[in-house]
Structure 1
């Protein structure tokens, strides 16, 4: 059948490394297209709707918005009535790669956003590699050109080098050599095709140059004239009134409200269902519509069990589209019910194995990059994901929803290739002041890291690239920030699998373990703070086997942190000497997971995160340690 295109639509994804300005740019595009009224109260980063997204300043879920643009660039293209630009805001973190892959399956091109100072980083490589694998055209946007440390021309050259490095097909290189570039300051809402001076603003006072680049260089959706309906499920959402919503990209044909369609499922079965409601996105809202055609991104209701990757097709001629494929998980952790003595103390907490399993199963519905496997215990499951951050985000979401959990130390997902054990390897990029070079090299050498490249920018900062086993990066960030006094920047992305690297010692210090149950006393803390760093404050309830601090030595130490000062009837000759209690070190959920050793885990409740031994009993642990030494 002949191919036809819809010139009144553009489907584009904004892809970039973390914090290079994707969400801010989408916000400004919405404002300048008139999507928000003059009196609308819209927060900055309106696309980051989740609490965790706002707190962490990262995009976790891929989201779509629609901009109706009718500016000069539309008139220049012969579209007097304007056109609809469907924009997918994708995460920049490789741990949420499943969201990136889903977003790219909905679009016909990408805008690659790169920071004018930092340049291309590991996640830039990751998202660009995904876009090139999908054969999508690319528009380069150098953002934050007004940064005082901007180096625009160098960054542009670095992007071109990265692009050529990633394109393996020599026939396809010519298509990307003439890459269209836009220079922007998303925060100022300005863009231009003219390269400004380093640290200067673009010479235009709006984003017209970017809109024009999207219209000219991102192709319109194509479809086969007269072909039957084919619509791909790329995401899921829920409505209090309509139930589960399936977000689809229509590839061929037309879909109408009330229509009977064929639901092509993962298992190959085909079921006839009715579209009870059809919604189309306008700015940040979904509004009812009667029909949608090729290239439209829509939401439909009426199919309660539909999942990502399935197809809605013509009822009389059902032809399913290929399933969405994602990279395999690299990190796993065990998640189970809370088994500590303090389980169930929080009123209304969800503590049963059935509730935890139901929540994990619900996560699988919308998260294509996660796997859940059974373990030897009926109340614990192995959860596999792309990285430590993705798994920590899941645990944090469950904690906020009222679940009590026991979470094991993150482990790597290994593979057997040609009879040999292989483990995942990450490409780590570090930007740091020169004086920390030796310390960082030493840390990564102990973690089996292999330096690939080192660049000195001549500004007192250096950039290093390492290949490091994923195991070696568990717990690395805290040590890295300590060594660089918070000045270093580290990013990593999955690179591939290599043969097992051997034993890696990631933590040289031991743990201070409570040997009895009771409230922490200041008197005991004063005596123990010389032994290491404490994690608890006076008055905190502890139990036997709970980790209350980090030992300054390599071995674990059982301590009585509930010890009280005995009162006597002997009067002191002088007033008691007051000793200061050093403030406790508060660990976040991610830091607690990083701190854990193999025989330790985290107790996660809506009110607190505690680190504990897997075996709480002191005698049992001592016997296990003795057996390990003998063997």
Structure 2
């Protein structure tokens, strides 16, 4: 039987979780349809999901539709939980993008559709809530063509929209009027069809057009549009038929080499780690040993697959399926099990921007400080984009966020799952630092002021925007033991997490220009004496001081995140919005009149987005639609913002050396000198 791994995506409140429930009910998986408002849906299992009526964690359910096994993944719609959508996109065969017939094309709908098109993900559109007062059909189709995709194909009409009796009437390809609308859309993607369309329309038989529709939909060239209501069930059967016919089945050789991707990590009742894996090739069985990216090996102790509304234990999971694997203790989200899978066109890694907010989490009770850190560490394993940072000396834990709703979710999760009460400080916008120029520094073994048995020279140079951090060697390879080189590189990357102003340093090249060490030695007839021999600890302790000096000489520029915005608003509100944009440091790049409305596009600092969202409804009588997408980092004008550096701060040389001395249990300067200088 064919398998389809399907994602349902939408702007929050468009009704995708209700659609999931309706599809499961129609397939016989559920006896009755759950309600988001009542908190009785199958896929919203978290208490906070039921309480707020939103999806927070992706959930998998399975059902049969027209001879196809559909593994359905319900993803969050709220932008604060984009990380959940991010990790799911790479394991899908196709998607359904849900729109509301009342609210229409919303800001996040555009972001999701652009991403799906960039990934060339076969996607069906489902216009939900046709039974709601104010539901639109033909005007909405025009909006879809203008704002989402010009290759949308309506698969039916709606009768009695906006009433309880609203229902969808599917088009028949044998109907000449439907063929007349379908042919030009398909002909744009197929030269042979275009020639037939121009020369002899009689050659465009119903069978030929239907085959072209299926082929182009599976190839993400056209996007069929279905209408219905998840509440009443109208149009859901037609959508289920579209899933089976118009979206491609999973591919993969069950007898081939094992290749799978971990898209979610959860924990069982006993705290055991459970890896949710999409298998692209091969078969994983109980007791199989799998190499992990960490370099370790994991042994599969149990396998489960989603069948119906529950996870069923099985002895194996093969290519094309989604499985739950127990026993892989070191596994993390994003890990590849076995051989890497071939990359899909348009799959360039991260699909959405990284978080641009940060907050400090503190325990409500001082005695829970250690438990809080442990709990957040486990949550960071499940969600790498949390960006956990721990300052032991200050006793502060910082986490990265997409929005304020995440604070409530983290707070509830810590209380419910770990029994830890926590509070959050005010969020701040995350900046970065980039080198303003080049700078070099060095500390030489046995030189005055260097208490470590190591020589380290480093140079910091700017790198192209978006290139990240690179580490290079100018010293002769083999002149320094690999363990020491690795210690320097790891410490460089760790130290760059906080630059001259306390922000992470990005887009730079750090080069090791000089090195030296004392070989392993001991006193006569004695064991190894680290007081006269270099260790990796010497390089780990010295490198931050050298890098801090090099950064000072290079200088850094603080850069703030900037979003690209698109704002649709009534023409009458245009004059009142422009001064607000200027006050919030938004820079309009273009402004186009569209009948009785305006579309303004431009740039806005991430720190101003929340303020703009807050003021927009009042300025536009609730008719303004704002879409913001992270675009880039730009240098801050004026006085750059800063945040406190680490407690062990190499920019404060005296304080740094004092703390290191305490850690190693004595004065560093008391180490035995040696006449040999290993500087190279």
TM-score by length of 2: 0.59
Shift of 1:110: 0.8
Superimposed CA distance per residue, residues 320-353 of structure 1 (whole angstroms, 9 cap, x where no aligned partner): 7889646452423231435xxxx64xxxxx6543
Shift of 1:248: 0.8
Write the distance in 2 (CA, Å) between the matches of 1:259 and 1:298.
15
* Bigger Cα Rg: 2
Write the distance in 2 (CA, Å) between the matches of 1:296 and 1:463.
44
Write the distance in 1 (CA, Å) between the matches of 2:278 and 2:240.
22
> Are 2:629 and 1:499 equivalent residues in the alignment?
no
- Does the aligned pair in 2 maintain the 1:27–1:44 contact within 8 Å? no
- Does the aligned pair in 1 maintain the 2:362–2:397 contact within 8 Å? no
Write the distance in 1 (CA, Å) between the matches of 2:91 and 2:569.
38
- Give the corresponding residue for 2:501: none
Shift of 1:365: 0.8
Shift of 1:152: 2.1
Write the distance in 2 (CA, Å) between the matches of 1:453 and 1:30.
45
C-alpha spacing 1:228/1:26, structure 2 compared with 1 (3 Å): same
- Give the corresponding residue for 1:106: 91
Shift of 1:373: 2.9
Which of the residues 308, 317, 320 maps onto 2:333? 308
- Does the aligned pair in 2 maintain the 1:327–1:369 contact within 8 Å? no
| Unaligned stretches of 5+ residues in structure 1 | 1-6, 75-81, 192-206, 345-349, 505-596, 600-631
- Does the aligned pair in 1 maintain the 2:6–2:70 contact within 8 Å? yes
Write the distance in 1 (CA, Å) between the matches of 2:595 and 2:25.
37
SS in 2 for 1:190: coil
Any residues of structure 2 matched to 1:588-607 within 5 Å, and which?
none
Shift of 1:184: 1.5
Write the distance in 2 (CA, Å) between the matches of 1:406 and 1:242.
25
> Are 2:311 and 1:286 equivalent residues in the alignment?
yes
Q: Kindly report the root-mean-square deviation, in angstroms, between the aligned alpha carbons of the 2 structures.
A: 3.9
- Does the aligned pair in 1 maintain the 2:260–2:279 contact within 8 Å? yes
C-alpha spacing 1:85/1:415, structure 2 compared with 1 (3 Å): farther
Which of the residues 35, 53, 64 maps onto 1:68? 64
- Give the corresponding residue for 2:258: 229
- Higher fraction of helix: 2
Shift of 1:137: 0.9
| Unaligned stretches of 5+ residues in structure 2 | 153-187, 192-215, 435-464, 466-506, 508-555, 644-680
> Are 2:585 and 1:448 equivalent residues in the alignment?
yes
Instruction: Select between 16-25 and 126-135 the one with higher mean Cα deviation.
Output: 126-135
Superimposed CA distance per residue, residues 119-172 of structure 1 (whole angstroms, 9 cap, x where no aligned partner): 3222112222332333211112222223332332232233333445999xx999
C-alpha spacing 1:27/1:208, structure 2 compared with 1 (3 Å): same
TM-score by length of 1: 0.63
SS in 2 for 1:250: strand
- Does the aligned pair in 2 maintain the 1:410–1:474 contact within 8 Å? no
Shift of 1:446: 1.0
Shift of 1:367: 0.9
SS in 2 for 1:382: strand
Write the distance in 2 (CA, Å) between the matches of 1:397 and 1:225.
38
- Give the corresponding residue for 2:431: 413
Shift of 1:30: 0.8
Which of the residues 73, 77, 89 maps onto 1:88? 73
- Give the corresponding residue for 1:260: 288
- Give the corresponding residue for 1:184: 228
Instruction: Select between 446-455 and 170-179 the one with higher mean Cα deviation.
Output: 170-179
Shift of 1:293: 1.7
Write the distance in 1 (CA, Å) between the matches of 2:129 and 2:638.
43
Write the distance in 1 (CA, Å) between the matches of 2:34 and 2:613.
41
Write the distance in 2 (CA, Å) between the matches of 1:277 and 1:225.
19
- Give the corresponding residue for 1:153: 138
> Are 2:561 and 1:424 equivalent residues in the alignment?
yes
C-alpha spacing 1:11/1:285, structure 2 compared with 1 (3 Å): same
- Does the aligned pair in 2 maintain the 1:279–1:288 contact within 8 Å? yes
> Are 2:421 and 1:403 equivalent residues in the alignment?
yes
Write the distance in 2 (CA, Å) between the matches of 1:244 and 1:37.
31
Shift of 1:115: 1.9
Write the distance in 2 (CA, Å) between the matches of 1:299 and 1:26.
21
SS in 1 for 2:9: strand
Instruction: Select between 59-68 and 90-99 the one with higher mean Cα deviation.
Output: 90-99
Write the distance in 2 (CA, Å) between the matches of 1:397 and 1:477.
27
SS in 1 for 2:425: strand
Count of paired positions: 454
